[in-house]
Structure 1
Amino acid sequence: MRTRSGARAGSAAALAAALALGAAGCVPVVDDPETPPSAAGNVDQQLGELTVARAGSMKGYSRSHFPHWRDTGKNCDVRDSVLQRDGEGIKLSGCNVVGGRWESPYDGLVLTDPADVDIDHVVPLANAWRSGADEWDDSKRGDFANDLTRPQLVAVSARSNRAKGDQDPSQWKPPNKSYWCQYAADWVAVKHYWRLTVTSAEKAALTDMLEGCTWSSKP
């Protein structure tokens, strides 16, 4: 049995850290959302409700159609917010994250230089385009690309992010198998909320990854 990862610690601890770092009055905003859908014990239901369809065309795709990163405070943006949320011992220069410690959940690498950390879109932008986002306007695509409320953004090693690219779980899975339950649940939660489709191979891979997973009601 694999259990839910503790990669994203309790929101109370994150808020306390933010307040401690905010003595200068300039802290990246970190959302304090309700319990993520992936932790609410309904991932199987959400998976069953996803629409299965063939992947769409990449015609017209550009990352510029998903404007990011948005500002989240004075001289800081969504990237800073995720770096702060997912890291430990965060160091700030003004409002920018310049130091800390991050453990990449995809491959277990420990990183101490924020320049080595990528903010991954769990459901890649190009995958979203092929599964329904091509019909959105750029404002909605920007909401998707900067979504701090759903489990869509995670700090990972640049190496693992490059290896993943825009592949879905039938094509790429995190090398860290202990993270598969969380990764699959997060993928399902994001696609379900944003009403994006899945391919038959993608759904089969997600079903396999979630087999035998156990979930706690709280981290």
Structure 2
Amino acid sequence: MRAPLAVLSTAALLALTGCEIYPAPPSGDPGAATGNATLDDLTVARAASMRGYSRDHFPHWRDTGDNCDIRDSVLTRDGQKVRHRGCNVTGGTFYSVYDGKTVYKPADVDIDHMVPLANAWRSGAAKWTEAKRGEFANDLDTPQLVVATQATNRSKGDQDPSQWKPPRRESWCSYARDWIAVKAHWKLTVTTAEKMALADMLETCAS
């Protein structure tokens, strides 16, 4: 099971073949109590209106130089035996924790926003500046960007954990922790149903 991603200092940034690449976070399982404590700190509120929403308000897949972008950074960070042409990812082995499937072609991999952009809009991001929304959409310091199969990413859409859970039950614990970590870092709200679903998912964490 993939452990929840720890917040990385920007000083940990590495440069690889001209692209900005962030090292993989340390592994470890702090236990369900940690997740519950963070969950309790989140503000519960009704989902706000989608009025005015557009993905264009979240500038994403930021250019990192040499015709590469954040997607290449995530594939390099999370893949195995990754091959590059310059800093563009051309091959490797990519594991989708949501459904336990392995993908070998970068073109067949989606990079999922753990907290979808539309969900963020409903839970506080509508009030942000566009610059801040861009930081959120390209966030490599929290578990916000995740390798996923196209099927699971598109099945998830903009749904929260009360509406969609990864088909692989073994990933529920890490998924809930990561969702909570992102929402806590960005001070986004959760609905009552969302909080209850997260609590249920945390129950699957090993004691």
- AA aligned to 2:48 is G
Structure 1 contact 108–176 (Cα < 8 Å) conserved: yes
- Does the Cα contact within 8 Å between 2:143 and 2:182 map onto a contact in 1? yes
Are residue 165 (structure 1) and residue 162 (structure 2) matched?
no
Q: Distance in 2 between matches of 1:7 and 1:128?
A: 20
Identity %: 57
1:188 aligns with 2:188: no
Q: Deviations over 1:3-62 (max 9, x none)?
A: x52597xx9xxx9xx88xx5xxx25322248769x9555322110010111111100000
CA distance in 2, matches of 1:200, 1:166: 17
Residue 117 (structure 2) pairs with residue 120 (structure 1): no
TM-score (norm 1): 0.83
1:73 is displaced (CA, Å) by 3.5
- State the Cα distance separating 1:95 from its structure 2 match: 1.4
Asked if residue 28 in structure 1 is aligned to residue 19 in structure 2, the reply is yes
The equivalent residue for 1:145 is 137
1:70 shift after superposition: 1.1
Provide closer, same or farther for how the CA distance between residues 74 and 7 of structure 1 changes in structure 2, counting only shifts above 3 A.
farther
Taking the TM superposition and a 5 Å limit, the aligned residue runs for 1:199-214 are 199-214=191-206
Contact kept in structure 2, 1:101 and 1:112, CA below 8 Å = yes
Q: 1:104 to 1:213 in 2, by over 3 A?
A: same
Deviation string, structure 1 residues 93-129 (Cα, Å, up to 9, x no partner): 1211011111111111211111110000000000000
In the aligned structure 2, how far is the partner of 1:196 from the partner of 1:99?
A: 35
Q: Does 1:133 align with 2:130?
A: no
Q: Which amino acid aligns with 1:5?
A: R
Q: Deviations over 1:54-80 (max 9, x none)?
A: 111100000010001112243211100
Counterpart position of 1:5: 2
- Taking structure 2 as the reference length, the TM-score comes to 0.88
Q: Deviations over 1:151-184 (max 9, x none)?
A: 1101110111000000000000000110000000
| Residues 84-103 of structure 1 aligned to structure 2 (within 5 Å) | 84-103=76-95
Structure 1: stretches of 5+ with no match in the other structure: none
**Unaligned stretches of 5+ residues in structure 2:** none
**Does the CA contact (< 8 Å) of 1:101 and 1:110 recur in 2?**
yes
Q: Hey, what does 2:54 align to over in structure 1?
A: 62
Aligned AA (1:178): E
The whole-number CA distance in structure 2 between the counterparts of 1:57 and 1:210 is 28
Give the one of 167, 170, 175 matched to 1:175. 167
Distance (Å, rounded) in 1 between the aligned partners of 2:107 and 2:44: 37
